[in-house]
Structure 1
Protein backbone atom coordinates (compact mmCIF):
# COMPACT_ATOMS: atom_id res chain seq x y z
CA UNK A 1 0.00 0.00 0.00
CA UNK A 2 1.35 3.44 -0.94
CA UNK A 3 1.98 5.98 1.78
CA UNK A 4 -0.76 8.14 0.21
CA UNK A 5 -3.16 5.35 1.19
CA UNK A 6 -1.67 5.01 4.67
CA UNK A 7 -2.13 8.73 5.35
CA UNK A 8 -5.09 10.23 3.51
CA UNK A 9 -5.96 13.89 2.99
CA UNK A 10 -9.44 15.31 2.45
CA UNK A 11 -10.67 18.86 2.05
CA UNK A 12 -14.11 19.68 3.41
CA UNK A 13 -14.75 23.36 2.69
CA UNK A 14 -12.38 25.27 4.98
CA UNK A 15 -11.58 22.17 7.06
CA UNK A 16 -8.63 19.89 6.26
CA UNK A 17 -8.93 16.25 7.33
CA UNK A 18 -5.96 13.90 7.69
CA UNK A 19 -6.73 10.21 8.19
CA UNK A 20 -4.33 7.58 9.54
CA UNK A 21 -5.33 4.61 7.40
CA UNK A 22 -3.76 1.37 8.60
CA UNK A 23 -6.67 -0.07 10.62
CA UNK A 24 -5.34 -3.62 10.20
CA UNK A 25 -2.30 -2.48 12.23
CA UNK A 26 -4.25 -0.27 14.69
CA UNK A 27 -2.96 2.66 12.60
CA UNK A 28 0.64 2.06 13.63
CA UNK A 29 2.87 4.85 12.30
CA UNK A 30 5.77 4.44 9.87
CA UNK A 31 8.56 6.85 8.90
CA UNK A 32 7.05 7.41 5.41
CA UNK A 33 3.73 8.33 7.08
CA UNK A 34 5.52 10.88 9.27
CA UNK A 35 7.29 12.35 6.26
CA UNK A 36 3.99 12.66 4.38
CA UNK A 37 2.39 14.22 7.46
CA UNK A 38 5.20 16.78 7.47
CA UNK A 39 4.44 17.66 3.84
CA UNK A 40 0.69 17.89 4.45
CA UNK A 41 1.09 20.10 7.52
CA UNK A 42 3.31 22.47 5.54
CA UNK A 43 0.83 22.63 2.65
CA UNK A 44 -2.19 23.11 4.93
CA UNK A 45 -0.50 25.89 6.87
CA UNK A 46 0.32 27.73 3.63
CA UNK A 47 -3.33 27.64 2.46
CA UNK A 48 -5.23 30.72 3.71
CA UNK A 49 -8.59 29.11 2.90
CA UNK A 50 -8.11 26.29 5.43
CA UNK A 51 -9.13 27.23 8.98
CA UNK A 52 -8.77 23.95 10.91
CA UNK A 53 -7.09 20.55 10.44
CA UNK A 54 -8.71 17.43 11.92
CA UNK A 55 -6.48 14.39 12.56
CA UNK A 56 -8.25 11.03 12.90
CA UNK A 57 -7.76 7.29 12.42
CA UNK A 58 -9.71 4.93 10.19
CA UNK A 59 -11.28 1.81 11.66
CA UNK A 60 -12.45 3.46 14.89
CA UNK A 61 -8.96 3.70 16.34
CA UNK A 62 -6.51 6.61 16.42
CA UNK A 63 -3.04 5.02 16.64
CA UNK A 64 -1.34 2.49 18.90
CA UNK A 65 2.09 3.96 18.20
CA UNK A 66 5.06 3.35 15.96
CA UNK A 67 5.16 0.23 13.80
CA UNK A 68 8.35 -1.49 14.98
CA UNK A 69 7.88 -4.19 12.34
CA UNK A 70 8.37 -1.55 9.65
CA UNK A 71 11.96 -0.85 10.68
CA UNK A 72 14.57 -2.53 8.54
CA UNK A 73 17.34 -2.58 11.17
CA UNK A 74 17.30 -4.16 14.62
CA UNK A 75 15.46 -1.56 16.72
CA UNK A 76 17.00 -2.23 20.11
CA UNK A 77 20.75 -1.70 20.39
CA UNK A 78 21.06 0.27 17.17
CA UNK A 79 20.99 3.90 16.09
CA UNK A 80 17.62 3.34 14.43
CA UNK A 81 15.63 4.15 17.56
CA UNK A 82 17.37 7.52 17.95
CA UNK A 83 16.88 8.34 14.26
CA UNK A 84 13.16 7.56 14.48
CA UNK A 85 12.84 9.65 17.65
CA UNK A 86 14.47 12.63 15.94
CA UNK A 87 12.17 12.33 12.91
CA UNK A 88 9.09 11.90 15.11
CA UNK A 89 10.00 14.87 17.28
CA UNK A 90 10.56 17.10 14.27
CA UNK A 91 7.20 16.29 12.68
CA UNK A 92 5.29 16.49 15.99
CA UNK A 93 6.92 19.87 16.61
CA UNK A 94 5.86 21.02 13.14
CA UNK A 95 2.29 19.92 13.89
CA UNK A 96 2.30 21.67 17.27
CA UNK A 97 3.71 24.93 15.88
CA UNK A 98 1.57 25.24 12.76
CA UNK A 99 -0.52 28.41 12.74
CA UNK A 100 -3.65 26.51 11.68
CA UNK A 101 -5.48 25.06 14.72
CA UNK A 102 -5.52 21.26 14.90
CA UNK A 103 -8.05 18.87 16.44
CA UNK A 104 -7.32 15.19 17.21
CA UNK A 105 -10.34 12.87 17.22
CA UNK A 106 -9.63 9.94 19.55
CA UNK A 107 -11.10 6.46 19.26
CA UNK A 108 -9.76 3.05 20.19
CA UNK A 109 -6.06 3.01 21.03
CA UNK A 110 -4.25 6.34 21.51
CA UNK A 111 -0.93 5.11 22.84
CA UNK A 112 2.85 5.64 22.55
CA UNK A 113 3.53 7.42 19.23
CA UNK A 114 -0.21 7.92 18.72
CA UNK A 115 -0.35 9.59 22.13
CA UNK A 116 2.53 11.87 21.09
CA UNK A 117 0.67 12.87 17.92
CA UNK A 118 -2.41 13.65 20.01
CA UNK A 119 -0.60 15.94 22.47
CA UNK A 120 0.94 17.77 19.50
CA UNK A 121 -2.53 18.93 18.44
CA UNK A 122 -4.18 22.03 19.89
CA UNK A 123 -7.39 20.22 20.84
CA UNK A 124 -8.62 16.66 21.34
CA UNK A 125 -12.12 15.17 21.36
CA UNK A 126 -12.34 11.59 22.69
CA UNK A 127 -14.87 8.81 22.30
CA UNK A 128 -15.78 7.76 25.83
CA UNK A 129 -14.31 4.24 25.47
CA UNK A 130 -11.00 5.29 23.89
CA UNK A 131 -7.82 4.01 25.56
CA UNK A 132 -5.43 6.93 26.00
CA UNK A 133 -1.97 6.89 27.54
CA UNK A 134 1.80 7.17 27.04
CA UNK A 135 2.32 3.38 27.45
CA UNK A 136 6.07 3.40 26.64
CA UNK A 137 7.13 2.34 30.12
CA UNK A 138 5.17 -0.91 29.80
CA UNK A 139 7.74 -1.98 27.21
CA UNK A 140 10.70 -0.37 29.02
CA UNK A 141 10.83 2.28 26.28
CA UNK A 142 10.86 6.08 26.37
CA UNK A 143 8.81 8.38 24.15
CA UNK A 144 10.96 10.81 22.18
CA UNK A 145 8.39 13.15 20.62
CA UNK A 146 7.07 15.42 23.31
CA UNK A 147 5.85 13.81 26.53
CA UNK A 148 8.42 15.36 28.88
CA UNK A 149 8.02 18.91 27.57
CA UNK A 150 4.44 19.06 26.24
CA UNK A 151 2.61 16.91 28.77
CA UNK A 152 3.64 18.79 31.97
CA UNK A 153 2.57 22.06 30.37
CA UNK A 154 -0.75 20.49 29.46
CA UNK A 155 -1.75 18.58 32.61
CA UNK A 156 0.87 19.41 35.27
CA UNK A 157 3.88 17.50 36.53
CA UNK A 158 2.10 15.16 38.97
CA UNK A 159 -0.36 13.87 36.39
CA UNK A 160 2.44 13.63 33.84
CA UNK A 161 4.42 11.39 36.18
CA UNK A 162 1.32 9.33 36.87
CA UNK A 163 0.81 8.63 33.17
CA UNK A 164 4.46 8.18 32.22
CA UNK A 165 5.59 6.12 35.24
CA UNK A 166 2.58 3.80 35.44
CA UNK A 167 1.75 3.43 31.76
CA UNK A 168 -1.94 3.58 32.71
CA UNK A 169 -4.60 4.03 30.06
CA UNK A 170 -7.46 6.48 30.51
CA UNK A 171 -10.88 6.30 28.92
CA UNK A 172 -12.36 9.41 27.34
CA UNK A 173 -14.08 10.70 30.48
CA UNK A 174 -10.97 10.13 32.61
CA UNK A 175 -8.82 11.91 30.01
CA UNK A 176 -11.19 14.89 30.20
CA UNK A 177 -10.83 14.91 34.00
CA UNK A 178 -7.03 14.92 33.50
CA UNK A 179 -7.37 17.98 31.21
CA UNK A 180 -5.83 15.79 28.54
CA UNK A 181 -8.76 16.19 26.14
CA UNK A 182 -11.29 18.98 25.64
CA UNK A 183 -14.37 16.78 25.60
CA UNK A 184 -15.56 13.18 25.72
CA UNK A 185 -18.63 11.80 23.97
CA UNK A 186 -20.40 8.46 23.37
CA UNK A 187 -19.61 6.85 20.01
CA UNK A 188 -23.03 7.76 18.60
CA UNK A 189 -22.45 11.44 19.43
CA UNK A 190 -18.76 11.73 18.55
CA UNK A 191 -19.13 13.07 15.01
CA UNK A 192 -21.68 15.67 16.10
CA UNK A 193 -19.46 16.74 19.01
CA UNK A 194 -16.47 17.14 16.69
CA UNK A 195 -18.53 19.07 14.12
CA UNK A 196 -19.83 21.45 16.78
CA UNK A 197 -16.33 22.02 18.20
CA UNK A 198 -14.81 22.61 14.75
CA UNK A 199 -17.65 25.01 13.95
CA UNK A 200 -16.63 27.21 16.88
CA UNK A 201 -13.18 27.55 15.26
CA UNK A 202 -14.11 28.05 11.61
CA UNK A 203 -16.44 31.01 12.14
CA UNK A 204 -13.80 33.21 13.78
CA UNK A 205 -11.37 35.64 12.18
CA UNK A 206 -8.56 33.49 10.70
CA UNK A 207 -6.12 36.37 11.28
CA UNK A 208 -6.99 36.63 14.95
CA UNK A 209 -7.13 32.84 15.37
CA UNK A 210 -3.54 32.45 14.19
CA UNK A 211 -2.27 35.43 16.17
CA UNK A 212 -3.91 34.24 19.39
CA UNK A 213 -2.65 30.67 18.96
CA UNK A 214 0.90 31.93 18.38
CA UNK A 215 0.77 34.20 21.41
CA UNK A 216 -0.54 31.47 23.73
CA UNK A 217 1.96 28.89 22.45
CA UNK A 218 4.94 31.24 22.83
CA UNK A 219 3.69 32.44 26.19
CA UNK A 220 4.26 29.03 27.75
CA UNK A 221 8.02 29.55 27.60
CA UNK A 222 8.27 33.22 28.54
CA UNK A 223 8.50 35.19 31.77
CA UNK A 224 5.73 37.59 32.87
CA UNK A 225 7.54 40.74 31.71
CA UNK A 226 8.07 39.26 28.24
CA UNK A 227 4.43 38.13 28.13
CA UNK A 228 3.24 41.66 28.85
CA UNK A 229 5.27 42.93 25.90
CA UNK A 230 3.91 40.11 23.73
CA UNK A 231 0.33 40.95 24.70
CA UNK A 232 0.82 44.65 23.97
CA UNK A 233 2.33 43.85 20.57
CA UNK A 234 -0.55 41.47 19.80
CA UNK A 235 -3.08 44.19 20.72
CA UNK A 236 -1.30 46.69 18.48
CA UNK A 237 -1.22 44.31 15.53
CA UNK A 238 -4.87 43.39 16.10
CA UNK A 239 -6.11 46.99 16.19
CA UNK A 240 -4.51 47.59 12.79
CA UNK A 241 -6.11 44.53 11.15
CA UNK A 242 -9.01 44.50 8.70
CA UNK A 243 -10.72 41.72 10.63
CA UNK A 244 -10.79 43.77 13.85
CA UNK A 245 -12.40 46.70 12.02
CA UNK A 246 -14.92 44.32 10.46
CA UNK A 247 -15.66 42.65 13.81
CA UNK A 248 -16.49 45.99 15.46
CA UNK A 249 -18.51 47.19 12.44
CA UNK A 250 -20.51 43.95 12.32
CA UNK A 251 -21.30 44.24 16.04
CA UNK A 252 -22.49 47.84 15.70
CA UNK A 253 -24.50 47.03 12.57
CA UNK A 254 -26.00 43.89 14.17
CA UNK A 255 -24.86 41.52 11.39
CA UNK A 256 -22.53 38.57 10.96
CA UNK A 257 -18.91 39.54 10.18
CA UNK A 258 -17.28 38.81 6.84
CA UNK A 259 -13.68 37.92 7.56
CA UNK A 260 -10.86 38.58 5.10
CA UNK A 261 -8.07 37.00 7.17
CA UNK A 262 -6.07 40.24 7.18
Structure 2
Protein backbone atom coordinates (compact mmCIF):
# COMPACT_ATOMS: atom_id res chain seq x y z
CA UNK A 1 0.00 0.00 0.00
CA UNK A 2 1.16 3.53 -0.79
CA UNK A 3 1.06 5.91 2.17
CA UNK A 4 1.18 9.70 2.19
CA UNK A 5 1.91 10.45 5.86
CA UNK A 6 3.93 7.45 7.02
CA UNK A 7 6.60 5.13 5.65
CA UNK A 8 6.19 1.42 6.33
CA UNK A 9 9.29 -0.67 5.67
CA UNK A 10 10.25 -4.24 6.39
CA UNK A 11 13.92 -4.49 7.22
CA UNK A 12 14.51 -8.24 7.37
CA UNK A 13 12.23 -9.38 10.23
CA UNK A 14 11.76 -5.91 11.76
CA UNK A 15 8.95 -3.59 10.72
CA UNK A 16 9.67 0.14 10.70
CA UNK A 17 7.02 2.84 10.68
CA UNK A 18 8.31 6.37 10.16
CA UNK A 19 5.93 9.27 10.71
CA UNK A 20 6.49 11.28 7.56
CA UNK A 21 5.17 14.84 7.79
CA UNK A 22 8.51 16.49 8.63
CA UNK A 23 7.42 20.00 7.59
CA UNK A 24 4.63 19.75 10.17
CA UNK A 25 6.89 18.11 12.78
CA UNK A 26 4.97 14.89 12.12
CA UNK A 27 1.82 16.32 13.67
CA UNK A 28 -0.99 13.78 13.57
CA UNK A 29 -3.96 14.40 11.29
CA UNK A 30 -6.85 12.17 10.26
CA UNK A 31 -5.01 10.71 7.30
CA UNK A 32 -2.02 9.76 9.44
CA UNK A 33 -4.30 8.04 11.96
CA UNK A 34 -6.02 6.10 9.19
CA UNK A 35 -2.72 5.08 7.62
CA UNK A 36 -1.22 4.13 10.96
CA UNK A 37 -4.23 1.94 11.72
CA UNK A 38 -3.87 0.13 8.40
CA UNK A 39 -0.13 -0.44 8.83
CA UNK A 40 -0.45 -1.58 12.44
CA UNK A 41 -3.15 -4.12 11.55
CA UNK A 42 -0.94 -5.46 8.76
CA UNK A 43 2.08 -5.80 11.03
CA UNK A 44 0.07 -7.53 13.75
CA UNK A 45 -1.17 -10.11 11.23
CA UNK A 46 2.18 -10.72 9.50
CA UNK A 47 4.25 -13.36 11.30
CA UNK A 48 7.36 -12.38 9.33
CA UNK A 49 7.38 -8.91 10.95
CA UNK A 50 8.50 -9.88 14.44
CA UNK A 51 9.33 -6.52 16.02
CA UNK A 52 8.05 -3.01 15.32
CA UNK A 53 10.07 0.21 15.46
CA UNK A 54 8.26 3.55 15.44
CA UNK A 55 10.18 6.74 14.66
CA UNK A 56 9.80 10.11 12.93
CA UNK A 57 11.26 11.87 9.90
CA UNK A 58 13.13 15.14 10.28
CA UNK A 59 13.67 16.92 13.57
CA UNK A 60 10.62 15.58 15.41
CA UNK A 61 9.31 12.23 16.48
CA UNK A 62 5.86 13.78 16.73
CA UNK A 63 4.71 17.21 17.91
CA UNK A 64 1.23 15.93 18.78
CA UNK A 65 -2.10 16.45 17.09
CA UNK A 66 -2.30 18.76 14.10
CA UNK A 67 -4.33 21.52 15.74
CA UNK A 68 -5.73 22.61 12.37
CA UNK A 69 -7.01 19.09 11.82
CA UNK A 70 -8.34 19.01 15.37
CA UNK A 71 -10.29 22.22 14.80
CA UNK A 72 -11.73 20.80 11.61
CA UNK A 73 -12.67 17.57 13.34
CA UNK A 74 -14.77 19.55 15.82
CA UNK A 75 -17.01 20.53 12.92
CA UNK A 76 -17.21 17.04 11.37
CA UNK A 77 -20.66 16.03 10.22
CA UNK A 78 -22.30 12.88 11.60
CA UNK A 79 -20.86 9.82 9.92
CA UNK A 80 -17.54 11.47 9.07
CA UNK A 81 -14.33 10.18 10.69
CA UNK A 82 -14.07 11.38 14.27
CA UNK A 83 -10.58 12.53 15.25
CA UNK A 84 -10.93 11.60 18.93
CA UNK A 85 -12.40 8.16 18.29
CA UNK A 86 -9.82 7.37 15.62
CA UNK A 87 -7.03 8.52 17.94
CA UNK A 88 -8.20 6.15 20.66
CA UNK A 89 -8.57 3.19 18.31
CA UNK A 90 -5.19 3.77 16.66
CA UNK A 91 -3.34 4.14 19.95
CA UNK A 92 -5.10 1.01 21.18
CA UNK A 93 -3.78 -0.93 18.18
CA UNK A 94 -0.26 0.24 18.98
CA UNK A 95 -0.56 -0.30 22.74
CA UNK A 96 -1.90 -3.84 22.28
CA UNK A 97 0.43 -4.85 19.45
CA UNK A 98 1.26 -8.50 20.27
CA UNK A 99 4.90 -7.96 19.27
CA UNK A 100 7.63 -5.88 20.91
CA UNK A 101 7.37 -2.21 19.95
CA UNK A 102 10.41 0.06 20.16
CA UNK A 103 10.07 3.83 19.98
CA UNK A 104 13.06 5.65 18.48
CA UNK A 105 12.58 9.24 19.63
CA UNK A 106 14.62 11.23 17.14
CA UNK A 107 13.56 14.72 18.19
CA UNK A 108 10.64 16.72 19.56
CA UNK A 109 8.14 14.45 21.30
CA UNK A 110 5.24 16.50 22.59
CA UNK A 111 1.62 15.99 23.73
CA UNK A 112 0.07 13.44 21.36
CA UNK A 113 3.59 12.49 20.33
CA UNK A 114 4.33 11.59 23.94
CA UNK A 115 1.10 9.59 24.04
CA UNK A 116 2.22 7.69 20.94
CA UNK A 117 5.61 7.06 22.51
CA UNK A 118 4.06 5.71 25.70
CA UNK A 119 2.27 3.03 23.66
CA UNK A 120 5.69 1.53 22.91
CA UNK A 121 7.25 -1.17 25.09
CA UNK A 122 10.74 0.36 25.09
CA UNK A 123 11.95 3.84 24.26
CA UNK A 124 15.36 4.91 22.99
CA UNK A 125 15.99 8.62 22.64
CA UNK A 126 18.45 10.67 20.64
CA UNK A 127 20.54 12.84 22.95
CA UNK A 128 19.07 16.04 21.47
CA UNK A 129 15.43 14.94 21.82
CA UNK A 130 13.11 17.16 23.82
CA UNK A 131 10.12 15.50 25.47
CA UNK A 132 7.08 16.81 27.27
CA UNK A 133 3.33 17.26 27.43
CA UNK A 134 2.22 20.51 25.84
CA UNK A 135 -1.55 20.12 26.06
CA UNK A 136 -1.95 22.81 28.71
CA UNK A 137 -0.11 25.34 26.54
CA UNK A 138 -3.04 25.35 24.11
CA UNK A 139 -5.92 24.63 26.46
CA UNK A 140 -6.25 21.13 25.02
CA UNK A 141 -7.04 18.14 27.21
CA UNK A 142 -5.02 14.95 26.63
CA UNK A 143 -7.14 12.24 25.06
CA UNK A 144 -4.67 9.43 24.40
CA UNK A 145 -3.13 8.69 27.79
CA UNK A 146 -1.29 11.89 28.67
CA UNK A 147 -2.92 12.18 32.09
CA UNK A 148 -3.81 8.52 32.56
CA UNK A 149 -0.62 6.76 31.47
CA UNK A 150 2.17 9.24 32.23
CA UNK A 151 1.89 8.84 36.05
CA UNK A 152 2.30 5.10 35.60
CA UNK A 153 5.50 5.63 33.63
CA UNK A 154 7.30 8.31 35.65
CA UNK A 155 5.36 8.70 38.90
CA UNK A 156 2.52 11.01 39.87
CA UNK A 157 4.48 14.09 40.96
CA UNK A 158 6.77 14.11 37.92
CA UNK A 159 3.82 13.54 35.61
CA UNK A 160 1.98 16.48 37.15
CA UNK A 161 5.03 18.67 36.63
CA UNK A 162 5.03 17.89 32.90
CA UNK A 163 1.25 18.16 32.59
CA UNK A 164 0.87 21.42 34.51
CA UNK A 165 3.86 23.31 33.10
CA UNK A 166 3.96 22.14 29.48
CA UNK A 167 7.75 22.21 29.79
CA UNK A 168 10.05 20.13 27.60
CA UNK A 169 12.69 17.94 29.23
CA UNK A 170 15.94 16.58 27.84
CA UNK A 171 16.27 12.94 26.85
CA UNK A 172 18.78 12.49 29.68
CA UNK A 173 16.29 13.83 32.22
CA UNK A 174 13.53 11.57 30.92
CA UNK A 175 15.85 8.60 31.15
CA UNK A 176 16.60 9.53 34.76
CA UNK A 177 12.85 9.70 35.39
CA UNK A 178 12.37 6.24 33.93
CA UNK A 179 10.58 7.02 30.65
CA UNK A 180 13.49 6.20 28.33
CA UNK A 181 15.41 2.95 28.43
CA UNK A 182 18.45 4.36 26.66
CA UNK A 183 19.80 7.65 25.33
CA UNK A 184 22.30 7.55 22.46
CA UNK A 185 24.08 10.05 20.27
CA UNK A 186 21.85 11.40 17.53
CA UNK A 187 23.92 9.77 14.78
CA UNK A 188 23.70 6.38 16.52
CA UNK A 189 19.93 6.23 17.08
CA UNK A 190 19.06 4.15 14.02
CA UNK A 191 21.94 1.72 14.46
CA UNK A 192 21.32 1.30 18.20
CA UNK A 193 17.61 0.62 17.74
CA UNK A 194 18.28 -1.67 14.78
CA UNK A 195 20.67 -3.74 16.87
CA UNK A 196 18.19 -3.99 19.74
CA UNK A 197 15.27 -4.90 17.47
CA UNK A 198 17.35 -7.48 15.62
CA UNK A 199 18.28 -9.21 18.87
CA UNK A 200 14.61 -9.38 19.85
CA UNK A 201 13.54 -10.65 16.43
CA UNK A 202 15.83 -13.66 16.85
CA UNK A 203 13.93 -14.83 19.94
CA UNK A 204 10.83 -16.99 19.96
CA UNK A 205 7.93 -14.80 18.80
CA UNK A 206 5.61 -16.90 20.94
CA UNK A 207 7.65 -16.34 24.08
CA UNK A 208 7.86 -12.61 23.44
CA UNK A 209 4.12 -12.36 22.81
CA UNK A 210 3.24 -14.29 25.94
CA UNK A 211 5.73 -12.45 28.15
CA UNK A 212 4.44 -9.11 26.92
CA UNK A 213 0.84 -10.08 27.60
CA UNK A 214 1.55 -11.34 31.12
CA UNK A 215 3.74 -8.35 32.01
CA UNK A 216 1.09 -5.89 30.78
CA UNK A 217 -1.70 -7.65 32.67
CA UNK A 218 0.41 -7.76 35.83
CA UNK A 219 0.29 -3.97 36.11
CA UNK A 220 -3.39 -4.16 37.09
CA UNK A 221 -3.22 -7.28 39.28
CA UNK A 222 -2.08 -8.20 42.74
CA UNK A 223 1.23 -10.06 42.88
CA UNK A 224 -0.59 -13.29 43.74
CA UNK A 225 -2.88 -13.05 40.72
CA UNK A 226 -0.01 -12.02 38.44
CA UNK A 227 2.05 -15.04 39.52
CA UNK A 228 -0.93 -17.32 38.93
CA UNK A 229 -1.41 -15.81 35.48
CA UNK A 230 2.26 -16.41 34.70
CA UNK A 231 2.07 -20.03 35.87
CA UNK A 232 -0.94 -20.75 33.66
CA UNK A 233 0.75 -19.15 30.66
CA UNK A 234 3.91 -21.14 31.38
CA UNK A 235 1.96 -24.40 31.49
CA UNK A 236 0.36 -23.58 28.16
CA UNK A 237 3.74 -22.72 26.70
CA UNK A 238 5.20 -26.15 27.51
CA UNK A 239 2.92 -27.56 24.82
CA UNK A 240 4.39 -25.34 22.10
CA UNK A 241 6.82 -26.08 19.29
CA UNK A 242 9.10 -23.22 20.35
CA UNK A 243 9.46 -24.62 23.87
CA UNK A 244 10.49 -28.05 22.57
CA UNK A 245 12.69 -26.55 19.86
CA UNK A 246 14.52 -24.31 22.33
CA UNK A 247 15.37 -27.25 24.60
CA UNK A 248 16.40 -29.40 21.65
CA UNK A 249 18.65 -26.68 20.25
CA UNK A 250 20.30 -26.22 23.63
CA UNK A 251 21.01 -29.93 23.91
CA UNK A 252 22.32 -30.14 20.36
CA UNK A 253 24.39 -26.95 20.71
CA UNK A 254 22.82 -25.21 17.72
CA UNK A 255 20.77 -22.10 17.05
CA UNK A 256 17.05 -22.70 17.55
CA UNK A 257 14.63 -22.48 14.62
CA UNK A 258 11.62 -20.85 16.25
CA UNK A 259 8.28 -20.86 14.44
CA UNK A 260 6.15 -18.81 16.82
CA UNK A 261 3.82 -21.73 17.58
Q: Counterpart of 2:52?
A: 53
Counterparts of 1:200 and 1:132 in 2: how far apart (Å)? 27
Counterparts of 1:169 and 1:56 in 2: how far apart (Å)? 19
Q: Counterpart of 1:32?
A: 31
Counterparts of 1:168 and 1:72 in 2: how far apart (Å)? 23
Counterparts of 2:197 and 2:251 in 1: how far apart (Å)? 26
Counterparts of 1:9 and 1:218 in 2: how far apart (Å)? 29
Counterparts of 1:102 and 1:193 in 2: how far apart (Å)? 14
TM-score by length of 2: 0.92
1:97 paired with 2:116, answer no
Worse-matched range after superposition: 56-65 or 126-135: 56-65
Counterparts of 1:172 and 1:204 in 2: how far apart (Å)? 29
Runs of 4+ in 1 over 3 A off after TM superposition: 71-76
Q: Counterpart of 2:228?
A: 229
> Are residues 143 and 240 of structure 1, via their aligned partners in 2, closer, same or farther at CA, if it must alter by over 3 Å?
same
**Deviation of residue 99 (structure 1)?**
0.1
Q: Which runs of 5+ in 2 are unaligned?
A: none
Deviations 1:63-109 (Å, cap 9, x if unpaired)? 11111123463859xx9xxx433321221111101101111111221
SS in 1 for 2:41: helix
**Deviation of residue 120 (structure 1)?**
0.9
Q: Counterpart of 1:168?
A: 167
Counterparts of 1:224 and 1:259 in 2: how far apart (Å)? 31
Let me know the Cα RMSD of the aligned residues. 2.1
Deviations 1:165-186 (Å, cap 9, x if unpaired)? 2222111111111111111011
Residues matched between the structures, number: 257
Which structure has the highest helix share of the two? 1
Q: Which runs of 5+ in 1 are unaligned?
A: none
1:181 paired with 2:185, answer no
> Are residues 153 and 176 of structure 1, via their aligned partners in 2, closer, same or farther at CA, if it must alter by over 3 Å?
same
Worse-matched range after superposition: 2-11 or 156-165: 2-11
Q: Counterpart of 1:144?
A: 143
**Deviation of residue 25 (structure 1)?**
0.8
Counterparts of 1:183 and 1:48 in 2: how far apart (Å)? 27
| 2:19–2:56 Cα contact (<8 Å) kept | yes
Q: Counterpart of 1:254?
A: 253
